[in-house]
Amino acid sequence: MKGVQPPAYLLFAIVAMAILRILLPLRRVLASPWRFAGIVPLFLGLTLNLAADRLLKQHQTTVKPFEKPTSLVTTGVYQVSRNPMYLGFVLILLGIAVLMGSLSPFLIVLPFAVLIEVVFIRTEERMMNVTFGENWLVYKARVRRWI
């Protein structure tokens, strides 16, 4: 599973949400025009991802999980979350779930977040600890994992 990158997990989750929406719509929880409120978390998620990616590139460190980081980025969106890209993914999924309007797509969001935590975040944070030591611990104490 280490060869599969997080965007592939996001794409799989979106496809799973669509399939659930079609095959098991459960209950419609939002009607138009309220469903369009999903644009807000979707936009915020995309914005978080782009901002985090830009910062990592500015600091010339990897964006790919399991690759050794060369810089500890603690500015910008990294002042709010230690994992703004993953938070962005969850916001994207929430936005899509709201846009779909039924309850079933929401069933994917929490398992997605847990999967990302287990598969990526824990390993990445161990790597950060080994690579940056005390600087990582200070940052970790100051900034929450998600929000």
112-141 pLDDT, tens digit per residue, is 999 999 999 999 999 999 999 999 999 999
Q: Which residue has the tokens 């200070």?
A: 138
Is the pTM here over 0.85, yes or no?
yes
What was the pLDDT predicted at 2? 59
Residues 44-79 pLDDT 10s: 999 999 999 999 999 999 999 999 999 999 999 999
Task: State how far the Cα of 38 lies from the Cα of 92, in Å rounded to an integer.
Answer: 9
Side chain identity at residue 49, one-letter code: N
Contact between 13 and 73 under an 8 Å Cβ cutoff? The reply is no
Q: Which helix (H) or strand (E) holds 99?
A: helix 84-100
- Taken in order of first residue, the domains within the chain and their CATH numbers are 6-141 (1.20.120.1630)
Contact between 78 and 52 under an 8 Å Cβ cutoff? The reply is yes
Which 3 state secondary structure label does DSSP give 28?
strand
Measured at the CA of 12, the angle between CA 32 and CA 77, to 5 degrees, comes to 75
Average pLDDT of the segment spanning 17-41? 89
What was the pLDDT predicted at 141? 98
Q: How many CA atoms lie within 13 A of 86 on its CB side?
A: 24
Give the CA dihedral 115, 119, 124, 126, nearest 10 degrees: 110
Task: State how far the Cα of 143 lies from the Cα of 104, in Å rounded to an integer.
Answer: 32
Beta bridge partners of 124: none
Q: Which residue has the higher pLDDT, 29 or 72?
A: 72
Q: Is the pLDDT of residue 101 over 80?
A: yes
